[in-house]
């Protein structure tokens, strides 16, 4: 294991969620301004983007969104909707400023980041409904950001990868705009926690099994609901007709096999898939570019796939 991954594991608290009360978790959910430590771990906002805060329709009311547009580019650009990670329980727009602004600049696209409702105050299916409703709303208003609503991609990491997969499925089943690519980065797709890697990588850095179990329990408190496709997209009866996918996984991740199994399910249903496993990497590697040696390669792959699928027809 790379020494930087070991260092990252020491910097990431093992008990951030485990054993915390709802009031303690609520304090963790409050948006925090950028700080030296946050930017050291997760990266900072990249210069050269115009950033605007706004709102989009959610599952029950409106949710905050933040757009990122390359300042130097004019005209109509492709649209990328980003759904952040954080175990459905934490995660803020500020924490994803680096990733969102980096994608906007590298892909020559407008990125709109969604700030959905979080558990435990808003358990499943609140986040899924927020992301679906906001995705449809944002695409319908693409011109507001100088974006092309006919060239759209979904990107999500971790819990955001879960919600991106669910959103793509809901768009197929309920109706919505065409999705050129769903980029699922180390996604959790089986909240019954049946993947072998949950046991194999139970004690690896960044995401350990007790933390994963705590996230799932907070998001979907009733175990009977965890097999629902809007919680566990892997367990859907039918994966046909879903958008082309990029699925990236990390070797040292408890949910590694969630991504692998989902990629296999998509391929079996005839969906075009590019699957990559990043050796020696922990969960969340793209969110920690200074600590994960493969982050640059993984980001380049993501941008290449976005550019390919969002190119004018």
What are residue 100's phi and psi, to 5 degrees?
Answer: -65, -45
**Do the Cβ atoms of 44 and 97 come closer than 8 Å?**
yes
- Residues 313 and 308: their CA atoms lie apart, in Å, by 10
Whether 239 is a known active-site residue: answer no
Catalytic residue among 253, 257, 258, 309: 253
Cα dihedral 266→208→195→218 (10° resolution): -80
- Rounded to an integer, what is the distance from CA 27 to the centroid of its chain? 22
**Do the Cβ atoms of 214 and 88 come closer than 8 Å?**
no
Q: Which residues pair with 185 in a beta bridge?
A: 157, 248
Catalytic residue among 84, 122, 283, 309: 283
Contacts of 206 (CB under 8 A, 6+ apart): 8, 9, 12, 282, 283, 284, 288
Whether 158 is a known active-site residue: answer yes
Catalytic residue among 67, 158, 164, 195: 158
- Residues 191 and 212: their CA atoms lie apart, in Å, by 9
- Residues 18 and 187: their CA atoms lie apart, in Å, by 21
- Beta strand 77-83 pairing with 110-114: parallel
Whether 101 is a known active-site residue: answer no
Active-site residue numbers?
Answer: 158, 253, 283
């Amino acid at each position: 294991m790379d020494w930087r991954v070991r260092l990252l594991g020491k910097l990431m608290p093992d008990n951030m969620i485990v054993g915390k009360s709802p009031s303690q978790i609520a304090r963790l959910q409050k948006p925090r301004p950028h700080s030296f430590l946050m930017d050291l771990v997760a990266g900072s906002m990249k210069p050269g983007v115009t950033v605007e805060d706004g709102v989009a329709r959610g599952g029950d009311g409106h949710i905050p969104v933040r757009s990122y547009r390359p300042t130097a580019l004019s005209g109509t650009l492709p649209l990328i909707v980003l759904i952040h990670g954080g175990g459905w329980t934490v995660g803020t727009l500020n924490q994803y400023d680096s990733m969102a602004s980096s994608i906007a600049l590298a892909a020559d696209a407008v990125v709109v980041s969604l700030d959905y409702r979080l558990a435990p105050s808003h358990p499943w299916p609140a986040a899924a409904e927020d992301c679906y409703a906001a995705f449809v709303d944002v695409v319908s208003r693409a011109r507001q950001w100088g974006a092309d609503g006919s060239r759209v991609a979904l990107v999500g990491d971790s819990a955001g990868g879960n919600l991106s997969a669910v959103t793509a499925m809901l768009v197929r089943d309920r109706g919505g705009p065409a999705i050129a690519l769903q980029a699922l980065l180390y996604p959790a797709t089986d909240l019954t926690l049946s993947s072998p890697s949950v046991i194999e990588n139970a004690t690896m850095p960044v995401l350990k099994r007790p933390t994963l179990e705590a996230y799932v329990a907070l998001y979907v408190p009733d175990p009977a609901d965890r097999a629902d496709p809007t919680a566990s997209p892997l367990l859907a009866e039918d994966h046909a007709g879903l958008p082309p996918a990029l699925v990236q996984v990390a070797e040292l991740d408890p949910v590694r096999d969630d991504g692998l199994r989902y990629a296999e399910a998509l391929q079996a249903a005839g969906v075009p898939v590019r699957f990559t496993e990043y050796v020696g990497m922990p969960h969340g590697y793209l969110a920690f570019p200074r600590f994960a040696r493969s982050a640059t390669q993984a980001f380049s792959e993501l941008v290449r796939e976005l550019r390919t699928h969002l190119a004018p027809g």
